[in-house]
Amino acid sequence: MLALPPALNGETQHARVTRALREQIRSGERGPGERLPGSRELARLWGVARNTVDGAFEQLRDEGYLEVRPRSGTYVVPLPAPELPSSDPGPPLRLSAWARRALDGQGVQGTAPAGTHASFIDFRLGRHSSGLFPSEQWAQALSRSAGDVALSPPDARGPLITRSALCEWLRRERGAVLTPDMLLLTGGAQEALDALSRLLLEPGRLAVLEDPGYPGARAAFQATGAELWPLPVDGGGACLGELPAQAVLAYLTPGTQFPSGVTLGAARRSALLEWSRRAGAWILEDDYAADLHFSARAPLCLQGEAPGRVLLLGTFSNSLSPALRSGYLVAPALVTDLLTRTRPVTQRTPPTLDALALAEFLSGGGYARHLRRARGELRTRHEALVGALRLALPTWPVTPAAAGTHLYLPLPPGYAELDLQTRAAEHGLGLSVSGEYRLGGETSAQALLLAFAHLQPGALREGVGRLAEVVGTQR
């Protein structure tokens, strides 16, 4: 008699007996046409209740593995001879054109060497702020909102109460011009980029984006087959001198350019809006790091100057946590209506419980209190990093950041970012470099990107000390 296998973690006796019989049939241990012991006998042999075996027999009969013959017994249904999984390679994987473009668009971000140093200090981007998430306050907001989930009607834009609270916040803090109908809640910035890309771009159309810039935008645009037009970035933000008239949209981070951290000045903002009017193109404004300005108040969003042609994209991944998957898109009602009609192709609605908790967090003042604390802590860590750099590398041009969670550090002439990155890994130091975020080819503009929000001042100073050692070995 075949033995009953051990139960899986959390597995009921019914599921265990059913699984055992199913696997024995599929493996050929119980052959086609074989008569099974009666339920009473099998229950005795396996030490389970007879009702458990009866239930397993019934389920496997419904699944087509067993048949009951009146006044005869329960038999195994003949099945095709099973093949070992290792001998079946499966059907050929024929990727679609979209999948090939999506994979090609991933670029090299995140490929920085990690090293094997026992006390590795990681300055690479993508590390979230350590100890800044308001865990207790968020848990309370979730708990208070849980009872409202069943009462919240499904809405592809997201719960109205959340969109209303976010409207008030964006009007007050960002100078945005909007109504709740212009707001679409998303699972983060990338979801909005993907949705807009599918709505507006296709092969033969042209999209403009900053270079260097956010790789997620590049990946979403490239996956549609659209042509990409890189805009160089200098100390005043994106250089707008050669904006193409045939572009469908231009993606920028005007408030805090990613990754350089510079702000697009008033003259260039006006020029960008004028180009949009002439070209009939959308401006996609990523309000990156808007809530994390720790040295001065953030510049107002561009959307407030032209709400009919600027699409405003935001996320709470940086200011709260990427685990929340909470973001938003502000667009004219015509655009949000089209997006809500196409949204069911990928998902029906954004996560409702998190959205309701966010509404309470915004309207109850919890988010504002969290930001005051977070900005103060970011300022402390940023000052520790800048001070350490100026002390350890006094000849390097260190320009403090105004916002965000990383510092953009241009390299003096004679230094190569990739060489420094490789050497740093050998010294137990993880670095990101500007080349990971460039769309074009080689450039003379070389820079390191130092994430600081997740590190304490002591670790920041030690990391800078290691960087100084690396620099000393390269000269």
Over residues 169-192, the pLDDT tens digits come to 999 999 999 999 999 999 989 999
CA 411 to CA 471: how far, in whole Å? Answer: 11
Of 468 and 155, the one with more pLDDT: 468
Q: What is the pLDDT of residue 112?
A: 54
| E-state strands within 77-226 | 121-122, 183-186, 206-211
86 has a pLDDT exceeding 90: no
Q: What is the pLDDT of residue 143?
A: 86
117 has a pLDDT exceeding 90: no
| E-state strands within 261-385 | 282-286, 310-315, 327-330
Distances (CA, A) of 290 to 116, 214, 254, 405: 35, 15, 10, 11
CA 258 to CA 436: how far, in whole Å? Answer: 12
Of 354 and 303, the one with more pLDDT: 303
Contact residues for 467 (Cβ-Cβ < 8 A; gap 6+): 392, 393, 424, 429, 431
The CATH number of 108-131+369-474 is: 3.90.1150.10
CATH architecture of 135-365: 3-Layer(aba) Sandwich (3.40)
CA 243 to CA 272: how far, in whole Å? Answer: 9
**What are the sequence ranges of the domains in the chain?**
13-76, 108-131+369-474, 135-365
Contact residues for 230 (Cβ-Cβ < 8 A; gap 6+): 208, 209, 210, 211, 439, 440
CA 175 to CA 306: how far, in whole Å? Answer: 11
CA 6 to CA 468: how far, in whole Å? Answer: 57
Q: What is the pLDDT of residue 89?
A: 72
Q: What is the pLDDT of residue 370?
A: 94
CA 98 to CA 113: how far, in whole Å? Answer: 29
Over residues 145-168, the pLDDT tens digits come to 887 776 677 788 999 999 999 999
Q: To 10 degrees, what angle do helices 50-62 and 13-27 make?
A: 50
Mean pLDDT of 270-280: 96
Are 108-131+369-474 and 135-365 equal in CATH topology? no
Is the CATH code 1.10.10.10 the one for domain 13-76? Answer: yes
Q: What's the DSSP call for residue 298?
A: P
User: Strand pairing partners for 237?
Assistant: 234
Q: What is the pLDDT of residue 396?
A: 94
Q: Which of 217-231, 268-282, 350-364 is predicted least confidently?
A: 350-364
- pTM for the model stands at 0.82
Q: Which of 50-54, 98-102, 244-248 is predicted least confidently?
A: 98-102
Q: Which of 114-118, 176-180, 292-296 is predicted least confidently?
A: 114-118
343 has a pLDDT exceeding 90: no
